[in-house]
Amino acid sequence: MKNITTLSALELGKLIKNKEVTVVEAVKAQLEVIRKRDASYHCYLTVMEQEALARAKEVQKQIDAGELDFSPLAGVPMAVKDNMCTKGTNTTCASKILYNFTPPYDATVIEKLNKAGAVIIGKTNMDEFAMGSTTETSHFGETKNPWNTAHVPGGSSGGSASAVAAEEAFYALGSDTGGSIRQPASYCGVTGIKPTYGTVSRYGLIAYASSLDQIGPIGRNISDCAAVLEVISGYDPKDSTSIDKDSYSYTEALVDDVKGMRIGIPKDYLGAGLDAEIRKSILNAAEVFRSKGAIVEEFDLTAVNYAVPAYYVIACAEASSNLSRFDGVKYGYRTENYEGLQQVYKNSRSEGFGAEVKRRMMIGAFVLSSGYYDAFYNKALKVRAIINEGFQKAFEKYDIILGPTAPQTAPGLGESLADPLKMYLSDIYTVSVNLAGLPAVSLPCGLDQKGLPIGLQLIGKHFGEKDIIRAAYSFEQAGSYIRPTLIVSEEGGIA
């Protein structure tokens, strides 16, 4: 048998179910790959080796007793972005201010995964408090792209995407506030789904922007992502924005059939600012859908041109409110230099937060301040409504919307931090989806001349996950997943 860590999550799950591989064997194989490779990529902040091995034995007993026959992912090792609470294991948000925070409870998605027999192998690196597009703002150091370690993996879920691409996890959870699942999935040549807002509980997700955040899966193909999404979706009374639906059976949408599907391509997504190689790949993808019987045409979606400024006003405003709870008093980092309560707050936050987080909190405080609320925040909310109306009008004619995930392939390390505005504009095709609360998926559709992956984005109507999953699966059947040529450091040994 070939190295099991090259398999998809569902392929491994089937081997475990058929008793061809034990859960302990799978976990040991995954841990060995992490030991060899993670020095090169720094995907993980915490590797839960002992916990994973103990959990593997527990899950194997459940499988042997026939208690997990319902779950195709039982026993499969996976990773979790480090902004989701895991009981008894550090959850840092890649920030100094939470460097030693150990939650006393599990996030709802963790509870659901545990019930399905998942084995969490570790917590992945991310941009601090999910604020960034490169995973370079992490207090604990940058993550690198497995396709080329001189390039970023994207962000903020860069550790999760990099871990899946580097075969250090079979699948991973990420969070998406303005593209933070889809953009790193695009940069790392893997697949990532951002579900409709309210489909997956946010209870236990440490908030960045509460009206935008959503948890979703990152996997090597759409089948793995659909299976994971099926597990983590569902109504949760602990999340007031959670929505109760009749069905979450996403795997039934894994059908190679898009005949008659109406697909729209916004002309605004193909204009100035889009790399020529990416434009070519997107148009080639459109031809694949046409060849399979879909109706594909271009249309105007001008409202999205205002998405980036509206998104950053709203996201920063919500962040300034959400992050006010981190004050150095109850938990996390506390400064050693203070006289009185006000200095505890001021010095702990000044020393505990990184530059990008401070920048966004200050922007948020400014746009919410007296005299500027109407000029910025209230206006951004109106633009958000216009963007939502634009999408709803488009979905009267089209089943899904097709476009690029990012305007360029993965930039080099250090490039984006030197120009924050350029980093913000890398979200130009993704933030509008969060503003409207829509589902979207990013999947690989080619490589550029530098050998870096190009991502294709499919956007669905509210609760239209099955449409984008069906389209993504059909597109996948026209080609095969391309793996990176993995680079491994001398300290990591030979892969």
Q: Whats the size of the chain, residue-wise?
A: 495
Q: Which stretch of DSSP H or E encloses residue 457? A: strand 453-460
pLDDT of residue 246: 82
The answer to whether the Cα torsion of 232, 236, 240, 243 is positive or negative is: positive
Q: Which residues contact 196 (CB under 8 A, 6 or more apart)?
A: 214, 243, 437, 438, 439, 460, 462, 463, 464, 465
CA dist 419 → 208, 311, 367, 368 (Å): 22, 18, 22, 25
422 is catalytic: no
Total-model pTM: 0.96
Residue of 40, 71, 138, 156 with catalytic role: 156
Would you list the domain boundaries of the chain? 4-262+438-477
DSSP string, 169-204: -SEEEEE-SSSTTHHHHHHHT-EEEEPPTTSB--TT
Segment 209-254, tens digit of pLDDT? 999 999 999 999 999 999 999 999 999 999 999 999 888 999 999 9
Amino acid at 330: K
CA–CA dist 291, 368 (Å, integer): 50
Which pLDDT does position 493 carry in this prediction?
A: 36
Q: Is the peptide bond before 156 cis (omega within 30 degrees of 0)?
A: yes
Give me the catalytic one of 180, 320, 416, 426: 180
Q: Does domain 4-262+438-477 have CATH number 3.90.1300.10?
A: yes
Among this protein's residues, is 348 annotated catalytic? no
Residues 308-345 pLDDT 10s: 999 999 999 999 999 999 999 999 999 999 999 999 99
- For 99-143, how does the pLDDT look when each residue is reduced to its tens digit (9 = 90+)? 999 999 999 999 999 999 999 999 999 999 999 999 999 999 999
The average pLDDT across 48-62 equals 98
Residue type at position 47: V
Q: Which 3 state secondary structure label does DSSP give 115? A: helix
The single residue of 8, 36, 71, 81 carrying the catalytic annotation is 81
Query: Known catalytic residue: 240?
Result: no
**Residue 145: strand pairing partners:** 148
Q: How far is CA 146 from CA 130, 260, 457, in A?
A: 21, 38, 21
177, 311 contact by CB (below 8 A): no
Give the C-alpha separation, 356 to 137, whole Å: 7
